Structure 1
């Protein structure tokens, strides 16, 4: 699953904890792989101040993920995913369910560049939609590694950008031991024209106020991104107790988004993030 739409980096940040613990279910250790479980985490990261910025800010955050009565759920940044397909552990994982989130990109004037701030704050977008995917456990390195492919679709219903975001994601995770986990993911974000103009466009009035050139982008592939997650149990087992996580992520803005004055003049098409966090699994 992809991240929240409050900027490329914000979406990467709290994949940190939502990507959480591996499914290392072993029948001989008395651990029920189908049990109810909830992981609560907190973390912090340095992320770009806005989608396309060349300066960073510290972002604290919290996430919740788990499975109750066979239904999986997770928060990724400011977005909630719920999987309505119930399957026993170890089966082919078919994923399908609703997605709800908010986009906080440029909802403050503290953007690190006076020209971008002069364009004005953006309203909070409420993005609703759904996602579908498929995953398989026991693919490459062991009986417990997982490979999954998913795609989400969301549309703003609050009248902010009033457009859509489609996000395909390919992810792979594997436990190196009962205490150490590594995850990799690659994704893209595809957006509509109204989204592009709302966050990356500069109107003639905005150009006069900011000094940036007027610009009207079109929709398309906004970015591609990749991230690496490492988890380390503090309790001797990633499936329960305390764990530490660290994440590094990179995103590259493309096409009209890279050429936007908010990026090419005031910002940077290369977006980096680093994050650390701690979680507890019940």
Structure 2
């Protein structure tokens, strides 16, 4: 679902700002096409970082908490590792030198919704949930040079199943992201996304059983799957030495909004104790070598 850990997923296009598709020379000869210089991202590389976000304490909460966000991205021998919300994705398809690039691989995440940091005492009385470990295929395509020589549009989808015995369900999360450098040292990314869930997922996170109703005072509610959320995130990245092509340190800031839909919005956990409007702000620092 679209909730607090989304900072990690939105960092991915910015950490890859100088990939072969987007890291072309900004200053070129006006008489001909600009040449792309060699960058730290042309071969094997590793980007590591840490951030902090401020967002809802659970999906549907109107109480906000601070949470850490470790970030890892790498490319080794043509295999790419990209961040995901509370997880990562491994792409086994090498990027094309020109034209669209295709992604196909495996994504995974650790979902900790209502495991800890539950600030609402009524929701807390329902009991803590177990962590879910979700894994499944991911696929996508990126189109470079859409509106200018250095931008890109990426469309992707993840389909994940819980294999840890928590919700035992699945999620499908399509997204589209537009990335463009604003100058040699600043990059921006706007992403739109949605999440669909099955009945097992919705029942685990949004149902209020009769026994929980007695314990909490909330009305009993049976949740079903469907469209779970839609959202948007805007990110800005600032290279600390003013040149994104040479790696080093960078600072990333993000602001995001998502809207819970369907039973995720109608459940008493959201409609009575929380809000369908979910906001996120965050910042992080990373280093690439």
What is the deviation of 1:43?
0.6
Distance 1:33 1:102 in 2: 28
Number of the residue aligned with 2:4: 10
Number of the residue aligned with 1:118: 125
Q: Is the Cα–Cα contact under 8 Å of residues 151 and 167 in structure 1 kept in the other structure?
A: yes
Question: Equivalent residue of 2:221, what SS?
Answer: coil
What is the deviation of 1:255?
1.3
Question: Equivalent residue of 1:73, what SS?
Answer: strand
Q: 1:255 aligns with which of 241, 258, 262?
A: 262
Q: Does 1:56 align with 2:56?
A: no
Q: Is the Cα–Cα contact under 8 Å of residues 25 and 33 in structure 1 kept in the other structure?
A: no
What is the deviation of 1:236?
2.1
What is the deviation of 1:55?
0.7
| Higher mean C-alpha displacement, 98-107 vs 28-37 | 28-37
Q: Is the Cα–Cα contact under 8 Å of residues 101 and 128 in structure 1 kept in the other structure?
A: yes
Distance 1:55 1:19 in 2: 29
Q: 2:105 aligns with which of 97, 100, 104?
A: 97
Number of the residue aligned with 1:25: 24
Number of the residue aligned with 1:209: 215
Q: Is the Cα–Cα contact under 8 Å of residues 182 and 231 in structure 1 kept in the other structure?
A: yes
Question: Equivalent residue of 1:10, what SS?
Answer: coil
What is the deviation of 1:32?
6.6
| Higher mean C-alpha displacement, 15-24 vs 219-228 | 15-24
Deviations 1:67-111 (A, max 9, x none): 111111112232110111012444421010011221100112x41
Q: Could you list the structure 1 runs, at least 4 aligned residues long, displaced by more than 4 angstroms after superposition.
A: none
Q: Is the Cα–Cα contact under 8 Å of residues 213 and 219 in structure 2 kept in the other structure?
A: yes
Q: Work out the number of aligned pairs and report it.
A: 274
Distance 1:28 1:139 in 2: 17
Q: Does 1:34 align with 2:42?
A: yes
What is the deviation of 1:38?
1.4
> What value does the CA root-mean-square deviation take over the aligned residues?
1.5
Distance 2:204 2:73 in 1: 32
Distance 1:34 1:9 in 2: 33
Question: Equivalent residue of 1:51, what SS?
Answer: coil
Q: Is the Cα–Cα contact under 8 Å of residues 16 and 246 in structure 1 kept in the other structure?
A: no
Distance 2:220 2:38 in 1: 64
Q: Structure 2 matches for 1:1-282, cutoff 5 A? A: 8-21=2-15, 22-23=17-18, 24-26=23-25, 27=35, 29-31=37-39, 34-108=42-116, 110-140=117-147, 142-239=148-245, 240-282=247-289
Q: Is the Cα–Cα contact under 8 Å of residues 14 and 188 in structure 2 kept in the other structure?
A: no
List gaps (5 residues or longer) in structure 2: 26-34
List gaps (5 residues or longer) in structure 1: none
Deviations 1:200-219 (A, max 9, x none): 11000000111110000110
Q: Is the Cα–Cα contact under 8 Å of residues 84 and 109 in structure 2 kept in the other structure?
A: no
